[in-house]
Amino acid sequence: MGKGNARARTNGRKAGQVSSDENARPAVAEGEPAPTPPPLPATYNPPTFDISNRLLFRVFQTSNLMQTRATRFVLAHGVTMQQVIVMGALARPHAAEGMTVRDLCDYLLVSRQNLGDVLARLEALGYTSRITDERDRRARRVILSESGKALWPKLSRTMGDFYRVALHNFTYDDCLAFLFHTDKLKQNLLRT
């Protein structure tokens, strides 16, 4: 495989660099097989298993806790954390023209079925709408409505309050290291 193909798969980044705002699924050229996960250890290693189990269970617990606590912050706006996450994806400058449901699923790493319920509720609340794609008249794109655009700055401030509480004793370097390691974990999981 040539250097050009390797560069395309990393979007021009050097090995090990982290990008938090790109599509989460690794790019695989058409016809190219999916990456092979690293081989499993030949023997069971109790200390390694124990720390792996504790670490990933802690990630699971933290994810659940983060979602319930963040929802407490945003409920005053009449939305759930899942809805805020979808609105955040649509509020990015990159998504100014909206996103297809498939693009949203790929970006958020969720199934179409799970996203469908959230989108239906956001549309019922008047915060999103679907428009015809100008490039492909058969396709529909999800965009923030005017009400959604008006709510987003308020939600951003509320989420900023939540971030300050959740990360109050994290230094900037702690946050960068945590981002780096969670991105490594995400990439490993995407290869499974």
Residue 12 per-residue DSSP state: T
C-alpha–C-alpha distance, residues 21 and 176, integer Å: 14
Q: 107-127: per-residue pLDDT in tens?
A: 999 999 999 999 999 999 999
Evaluate whether 103 touches 155 at the Cβ level (below 8 Å): no
Q: 145-184: per-residue pLDDT in tens?
A: 999 999 999 999 999 999 999 999 999 999 999 999 999 9
CA distance to 57, 79, 118, 174, per residue, from 163 (Å): 22, 17, 23, 14
Q: 64-84: per-residue pLDDT in tens?
A: 999 999 999 999 999 999 999
The percent of residues in the chain predicted with pLDDT above 90, rounded, is 65
Assign 191 to helix, strand or coil: coil
CB atoms within 10 A of CB 122: 24
Enclosing H/E stretch for 15 = none
Closest CA to 84 of 95, 96, 70: 70
Residue 124 per-residue DSSP state: H
- Please name the fold of domain 73-192: Arc Repressor Mutant, subunit A (1.10.10)
Q: What is the pLDDT, as a whole number, of residue 124?
A: 97
Domain boundaries, the chain: 73-192
Q: Is the pLDDT higher at 135 or at 186? A: 186
C-alpha–C-alpha distance, residues 65 and 72, integer Å: 11
- Region for residue 120 given its phi and psi (left: phi exceeds 0; alpha: psi -120 to 50; beta: otherwise): alpha
C-alpha–C-alpha distance, residues 84 and 104, integer Å: 13
